[in-house]
Amino acid sequence: MRRVRYESTGGPLFLEETPVPEPGPGELLVRCEAVGVTLPVVRKVTETAEPVPLGGEVAGEVVAVGAGAGRFRTGDRVTGLCFGHGYADYAVLREDMASAIPDTATAVDAVALVRGGLVALGALEAARPRHGEAALITAAASGVGHLAVQLARVRGAGRVVGAVSDPAKADFVRSLGADEVVTYRDEDWGDPVDYVLDAVGGDLLSPALAALTPGGRLVAYSSGGGTIQAYDLLVGAKSVVGFQMARIARGEPELYERWRRELWELFEEGAVKPAVHGEFTLEEALEAHVAVETRANRGKVVLHTGVTRARFL
């Protein structure tokens, strides 16, 4: 089978031929149709001292089942988070990280919706939104952010503001349901909001905090770091909470599963529509990484293996 790999920090990425892996206990072997590209994986290539497997969201057909795995059978279509090599024709997936793909959805729909949607929904719940409140979503055109914009509206936000790196993304973000769009360079982000979902971090934390009304809440779910001054929280009685999906997946599996069901229900209703940026093959993994690293994407960046030609926006 084909697999994307790299040998040193910064790449380059290349395709290699390697034997098809076998699923271990509690694992599924999935013939991949679509693979989601995420910023954390892109950063691993550019930042980690030693090469690591390129994992992430995969979606496709179960072709083998390991000992002790009983929820799925060969022929089932599933999606889930792969911790090993995911940029490949076949990937091993822990069964407890897998969920079924409805007949009405493609593999591309699945990788664009589930993991990013879980992060967006979890960050939104961490903000404790009340009906009619105003929300601000940073990285609003990203794989997670574009779903967060839609979910904030579904959960009753009275006003949704999208913050983006490039004004060229404004029309896309408005098409998701945002009332207003600002760029990170704007000095004025408009009227204050009740909560911010921040996927950027770094230097953006200060303006994100300043955008809050007194008593507002900032949810930080970025790996980008950053510093907040305690005095800035004190004077506005504002609060900051960190959100990490891995903690939910490991410690609250019932909540994790409930969120997954909710996402698919919203998808079936047409209330949440995942968007996909471009069309990349495994051979074009580097181009896909560049799109994510430079924040050029509008929606989810997806690789496909050629098993099926799924719908792309």
Same domain, 64 and 138: no
The contacts of residue 164 (CB under 8 Å, 6+ apart) are 139, 140, 141, 170, 173, 181, 182, 183, 184
Same domain, 128 and 240: yes
Domain with 127 in it: 117-246
The predicted-structure confidence for 91-111, as pLDDT tens digits, reads as follows: 999 998 899 999 999 999 999
Establish if 252 belongs to a structural domain. Answer: no
Establish if 148 belongs to a structural domain. Answer: yes
Region of 31 on the Ramachandran plot (φ > 0 left; ψ -120 to 50 alpha; else beta): beta
Count how many domains the chain has: 2
- What are the b/e assignments for 156-187, b being 16+ CB within 10 Å? ebebbbbbbbeeebbebbbebbbebbbebeee
pLDDT band at 210 (very low <50, low <70, confident <90, very high): very high
Establish if 311 belongs to a structural domain. Answer: no
Question: So what's the pLDDT on residue 310?
Answer: 37
The contacts of residue 175 (CB under 8 Å, 6+ apart) are none
Same domain, 194 and 281: no
Q: What is the CA radius of gyration of the chain?
A: 19
Establish if 54 belongs to a structural domain. Answer: yes
Cα–Cα dist 40/37, whole Å? 9
State yes or no: pLDDT of 80 exceeds 90.
yes
Query: Last residue of some domain: 231, 246, 261?
Result: 246
If DSSP codes are grouped into helix, strand and coil, which group holds residue 97? helix
Same domain, 146 and 239: yes
Same domain, 84 and 30: yes
Establish if 88 belongs to a structural domain. Answer: yes
Establish if 213 belongs to a structural domain. Answer: yes
Same domain, 234 and 205: yes
Same domain, 170 and 290: no
Q: Please report, for the domain that includes residue 218, its CATH number.
A: 3.40.50.720
* Across 139-161, average pLDDT: 97
Establish if 267 belongs to a structural domain. Answer: no
Cα–Cα dist 33/56, whole Å? 13
Query: Whole-prediction pTM value?
Result: 0.91
- Secondary structure letter of residue 144 according to DSSP: T
* 39-47 helix and 285-293 helix, angle to the nearest 10 degrees: 100
Element (H, E) at 139: none
Work out the percent of the chain whose per-residue pLDDT is above 90.
81
Same domain, 19 and 69: yes
pLDDT band at 307 (very low <50, low <70, confident <90, very high): low
If DSSP codes are grouped into helix, strand and coil, which group holds residue 274? coil
The predicted-structure confidence for 251-306, as pLDDT tens digits, reads as follows: 898 998 899 999 999 999 999 999 999 779 999 999 999 999 998 999 999 999 98
Same domain, 88 and 170: no
Same domain, 123 and 95: no
Same domain, 233 and 123: yes
7 burial type by CB count under 10 A (0-12 exposed, 13-18 middle, 19+ buried): exposed
State yes or no: pLDDT of 313 exceeds 90.
no
198 touches 226 (CB < 8 A): no
State yes or no: pLDDT of 311 exceeds 70.
no
Q: Please report, for the domain that includes residue 60, its CATH number.
A: 3.90.180.10
Establish if 269 belongs to a structural domain. Answer: no
Same domain, 122 and 239: yes
Cα–Cα dist 176/140, whole Å? 9
